[in-house]
Amino acid sequence: MTDAATSPTYRLDDGIAVVTLDDGKANALSHAVIDGLHGAIDRAEADGARALVLAGREGRFSAGFDLATMTESVESMRGLVIAGAKVQTRLYGLGLPTVAACTGHALAAGAIMLLVLDHRVGGDAPAKIGLNEVGIGMALPVFAVELARERLTRREFGPATMQARIYDPAGAVEAGYLDRVVPAGQVVDEAIADARRLAELRTGAYARTKQVARQAVIDHILATLEDDLASISGPDAAG
């Protein structure tokens, strides 16, 4: 079951499914939040939504996976990352236009969420965006590397993954995490406006083209996910 205090909220705004993460803190991805994201996607599909917007709270998009679960045990870490990868892969292949309203910091799994959404709008307020795993001694899983390879620029792929480079919003546009930056107070409204423009495209043609473009990557991620996570044990204290 999802926790009502941390579960994403859902509303249908004239055919646009708007899903908001707001736990009042860092918007960490826990099992409850992941279950809530699946439920929101299910509702968007059942409602016949023409596009989906995923928004954060002011100053926070998502700080990544829930720290308590990640540090509880190796088994709990692996279970959470696998669950997160599955919902992120589902979003990556979703047959609707998807738009991120990146309202602030997006680190680790939060940055991966930007990689799986089709169009990403960020705010011009100070924010840290990027894959910081190597910086804390944790190897990036295959699924994160493959999504970064697909969405980041060739020049920034290495620094963003192996060097754990963190970007401000303008730098995140150059790297490929974001598509554009707008005034911070307008991020959600601008993301919804972009979703409305994308929603005017023929849904069937959009879905089929996305499938052709992404299915091979999705298949590779799902085929390697559990074996890959079995080889990752979390941050390496020995450096």
Instruction: Return contacts of 220-227, CB within 8 angstroms, 24+ apart.
Output: 220/142, 220/146, 221/85, 221/89, 221/142, 221/143, 221/146, 221/147, 222/86, 222/89, 224/142, 224/143, 225/82, 225/85, 225/86, 225/141, 225/142, 225/143, 226/82
- What is the model's pTM? 0.94
How many residues can be counted in the chain? 239
Domain boundaries, the chain: 9-199
pLDDT given at position 238? 41
Q: What tokens were used for 119?
A: 């169009």
Model confidence at 3, pLDDT cuts 50, 70, 90, reads very low
**pLDDT score recorded for residue 115:** 98
pLDDT of 236 strictly over 60: no
Please name the amino acid found at residue 17.
A
Instruction: Provide the pLDDT for residue 92.
Output: 98
More confident residue, 6 or 231: 231
Tokens at 23, concatenated: 């736990």
pLDDT on residue 6: 58
* Average pLDDT rounded to a whole number, residues 88-92: 98
pLDDT of residue 237: 42
Confidence (pLDDT) at 184: 94
Q: Closest by alpha carbon to 215, among 96, 42, 115, 89? A: 89
Q: What is the pLDDT of residue 1?
A: 36
Overall CATH class of domain 9-199? alpha beta
pLDDT in tens, 107-145: 999 999 999 999 999 999 999 999 999 999 999 999 999
pLDDT tens profile 54-68: 999 999 999 999 999
Q: Which residues contact 111 (CB under 8 A, 6 or more apart)?
A: 64, 129, 130, 131, 177
Q: How much is the pLDDT for 235?
A: 65
The pair of structure tokens assigned to 3 is: 């926790």
Q: Which residue's entry shows tokens 């960490």? A: 28
- pLDDT band at 233; cut points 50, 70, 90: confident
Angle at 116 between CA 195 and CA 237, to 5 degrees: 145
> Is 60 exceeded by the pLDDT of residue 23?
yes
